[in-house]
Structure 1
Amino acid sequence: MEYSTLGLFVIAAVTLIIIPGPAVLYIMARSIDQGKKAGLVSALGVSLGGSVHVLAGAIGVSAILMTSATAINIVKYLGAAYLVYLGCKTLFSTSDRTTSEMTQAPRKKLVKIFYQSALVEVMNPKTALFFLAFFPQFISPSAGSVTVQFFLLGTIFIILALICDGLYAVLAASIRQRILDSKVNSKLQNRITGYFYIVLGVFSALASPSKT
């Protein structure tokens, strides 16, 4: 893959990752409730679960795209449409939860937290759909093996997400009482996330079809 493509992917991935989503809020909740170690273990578990989706996606997308020269473009258009759908759904979400309401997670041992976090992520179909929608936008059959490209992008994404999640866990642990006492409304987060998904989806659609 070209370095420019990888650079664009990293920029888009980092922008997506730093916006707190359900996984980050879960990790922060663990960190606030049980301390930094619990938060970091949760981040590791989520990363393991995400890795399973990456592996499955790499195999599945490769099998699909090898069936037709135009399949990559179909996948990209469907992916772009799904990103716009995610944006609209998030943007018009009526959720009005506060940070303090998201920290009511029952206490568990670190080993259980790790496996629970991994299982929750593995069983989350939204993660798989997101990877299938996002990664193909940066994949080109002419650049080599689709499987290798998907796996490479997935590995980069998981590493970046793990670093970011770990930082959120440390941050939450360091200011746990302040966060517990806060009344941060989720509507602003929904707006920011929703608009970004829509912009990313439109950009992806305009960038398709790719050269094959």
Structure 2
Amino acid sequence: MIFMVSADRLLAFTAMSLLLILIPGPSVLFVIGRALAQGRRAALTTVVGNTLGAYVLVGAVAMGIGSIVERSVVIFTALKLAGAAYLVYLGVKAWRERDSLPASFTGAGAARSGLRTFWEGFTVGVSNPKTIVFFAAVLPQFVDRGQGHVAVQMLVLGLVFNAIAVLCDSMWGLVAATARDWFARSPRRLSLVGGVGGLLLIGLGVTVAVTGRKD
């Protein structure tokens, strides 16, 4: 049996996804922070991790887990606070290591694991409250249950969302990394941007912790 998402539903979902993604949230700000602190490669690696983390959420919704998270305040809050705490941890770490950034440009600093950067991005992506709410509450509305293959429809729509997210988040990361090159000409500037990136992550973590549903 051939599966198909109707064109009108697909276009409507694409438009709503684009609108949500264009509004900077935890994933975008995290990518920008990584770009400023570590450069273009780290930013793009973070984007990949973020995207795969978000797609895990799509899979969870497709299997019915998303509705449980959406209906349970305890589970939702626990996941949100875990993500917020991780952002604060990364922010504090970036702030403490801000003076070591100039060394990374000269090769004196220790190389950062790309796999580690990927998993950090994945963790932020899979615990993003904004994405959790969107996939749990909005994604199912664009599924045509009369066509059958509901889980497959959700997975396909999730791919559309993530394709848009990859393009937009990568652009944010590349722009931020380009600005970083200017800061790299001065050790003081570079230390400053490392500190700002750390504070950005801390502020983002606090924001994630105090916003969202409270019912």
TM-score category, normalised to shorter length: 0.5 to 0.7
Aligned to 1:143: 147
Report SS of the residue matched to 1:175. helix
Q: Could you tell me how far 1:161 is from its partner in structure 2?
A: 0.6
CA distance in 2, matches of 1:8, 1:105: 45
Unaligned runs of 5+ residues in structure 1 are 65-74, 80-100, 187-212
The answer to whether structure 1 residue 115 and structure 2 residue 122 are counterparts is no
1:26-45 CA-to-partner distances (Å, cap 9, x unmatched) read 11110111110000000001
Letter in 2 for 1:129: V
1:38-69 CA-to-partner distances (Å, cap 9, x unmatched) read 0000000111111111111111179x8xxxxx
Aligned to 1:163: 167
Q: Contact conserved, 1:33 with 1:105, CA < 8 A, in 2?
A: no
Tell me the number of residue pairs that the alignment of Structure 1 and Structure 2 aligns. Answer: 163
Report SS of the residue matched to 1:28. helix
Percent identity, aligned pairs only, is 32
Q: Contact conserved, 2:27 with 2:124, CA < 8 A, in 1?
A: no
Structure 1 segments (4+ residues) deviating >3 Å: 103-108, 177-181
Matches of residues 81-100 of structure 1 in structure 2 within 5 Å? none
Aligned to 1:38: 42
1:47-96 CA-to-partner distances (Å, cap 9, x unmatched) read 1111111111111179x8xxxxxxxxxx9xx89xxxxxxxxxxxxxxxxx
Aligned to 1:98: none
TM-score normalised per structure 2: 0.60
CA distance in 2, matches of 1:58, 1:154: 10
Q: Could you tell me how far 1:25 is from its partner in structure 2?
A: 0.5
CA distance in 1, matches of 2:151, 2:61: 9
CA distance in 2, matches of 1:163, 1:105: 31
**CA RMSD for the aligned pairs?**
4.3
Aligned to 2:19: 15
Q: 1:139/1:115 Cα in 2 relative to 1: closer, same or farther (>3 Å)?
A: same
Q: Contact conserved, 1:54 with 1:154, CA < 8 A, in 2?
A: yes
